[in-house]
Amino acid sequence: MRFKKIIIALIALVTLGSCNANPKTLKEAYKNYFPIGLTLNKNNYTNYEDILDNFNSMTCENEMKWSSVHPSDDIYIYDEADKMISYAKEHHLNVRGHALVWHEAIPAGVFLDKNQETISKEDLLKKMKNHIFNVVKHFKDDVYVWDVVNEVIDENEDPLNEDKTNVYRQSSWYNICGRDYILYAFQYAKEALNELEEELGRKMNVKLYYNDYSLANPTKREKLVEMIKYLQENNAPIDGIGMQSHYHINSFSQVEFENSINTYSSMGLEVQITEFDVSVYEPESKENYEMGLPEDIELIQASIFSRAFKILRKHKDVITGATFWGAADDSTYLDDLNPNRKDYPYMFNEYHEGKSSYYMVKNFLYGGKD
């Protein structure tokens, strides 16, 4: 009997001892949850080898956008994106495709005909089909998910009006085609994938997503629900919603974040966080932490990342990825947008060391302690 007790105590000790080791990387911590992604660009993509082990997904910041791969009507250039894909493969990163149809990063000429007049709907849809087919067929299943359409929901804070005429952004796409082009974009992407499967003689598993910012905002959510209904009523091949999730230090609502995940998944869709970052400044703030990020602000930021990831873990059955819009604080688009101040929006600092948020998100089993 005593011998049995000693054995049980020994087993307990060994088990506890081995459990106590925190995972070494984010990727390992989340292996039973969802992939963890970072975003790189052509200028910085080789700079993060010291932290790459944390990730298993990569998004190209700009290199797959229309103006990068398709700068004028008959010219397609894939060199930069291809180099980044090879690099990603070497480093065991799967690639998110971003983005096929967007009102930005697109040559103005796309919306003009040969006489430099506004193009007809029919001809614009032809151009869009050509673009989607060319790009999707080039990358094949080197990308595992496409942001097929990016940012078409009206960003105005006005609530959805009764006749539902303020759902969509008044972009050139919308002004020429109405909402139809969104449906066509998903259909063309699916057709291109089907053709590819036939040509290659094998099944592929490439998902098709709608991607946008502020999707935890109740007004925008209500408008997006209208669009999803329209797409689903017309059998659009849409698999999921990409919630970009660009936050600042005072903008995260845990309740609305979770409400949105629940709303989109209740419509049969997967959800990914696609562009997560937390600026340490409110938009209008005159603050500039050029000497370094104050500890109290770092902790507020950590609490946002940590609360968000707690919700993502809770919903792991519908969450299929969480990607940061960058990698570490030494390189961020936020510093380009606002050159007068230094921002620190990620979980790694300028020297690629994990910040408080990193330890809280990675070591969630042991209360965030290292």
Binding track, positions 148-167, relative to ligand GLA; x by CB under 6 A: --x-----------------
Task: Count each helix (H run) and each strand (E run) in the chain, helices first.
Answer: 12, 9
Tell me which of 61, 258, 270, 275 is the catalytic residue.
Answer: 275
Of residues 320, 218, 216, 208, the one with CA closest to residue 271: 320
The nearer residue to ligand GLA, 187 or 323, going by C-beta atoms, is 323
Q: How many residues sit in the footprint of ligand GLA (CB under 6 A)?
A: 5
Q: Examine residue 279 and tell whether it contacts ligand GLA (CB under 6 A).
A: no
Contact 40, 60 (CB under 8 A): yes
162 labelled catalytic: no
CA atoms of 211 and 17, how far apart (whole Å): 43
Catalytic residue among 151, 258, 270, 298: 151
Phi then psi for 274, rounded to 5 degrees? -110, -20
User: Can you tell me whether residue 131 is helix, strand or coil?
Assistant: helix
Q: How far is the CB of 151 from ligand GLA (least distance, A)?
A: 6
Nearer to ligand GLA, 48 or 276 (CB): 276
**Active site (annotated) includes residue 275:** yes
Q: Is 241 helix (H, G, I), strand (E, B) or coil?
A: strand
Q: How far is the CB of 317 from ligand GLA (least distance, A)?
A: 26
Q: Is 146 in the site for ligand GLA (CB under 6 A)?
A: no
Residues in the chain: 370
Please state whether beta strands 319-324 and 36-40 pair in parallel, antiparallel, or not at all (unpaired). parallel
When the beta carbons of 119 and 149 are compared against ligand GLA, the nearer one is 149
Q: Is 30 in the site for ligand GLA (CB under 6 A)?
A: no
Interface pick for ligand GLA out of 181, 209, 333, 348 (rule CB under 6 A): 333
Q: What residues have CB less than 8 Å from 13, skipping those under 6 apart?
A: none
CA-based Rg of the chain, rounded to a whole angstrom?
Answer: 22
Q: Shortest gap between Cβ of 83 and ligand GLA (angstroms)?
A: 19
Q: Give the footprint of ligand GLA on this chain (CB under 6 A).
A: 150, 213, 244, 275, 333
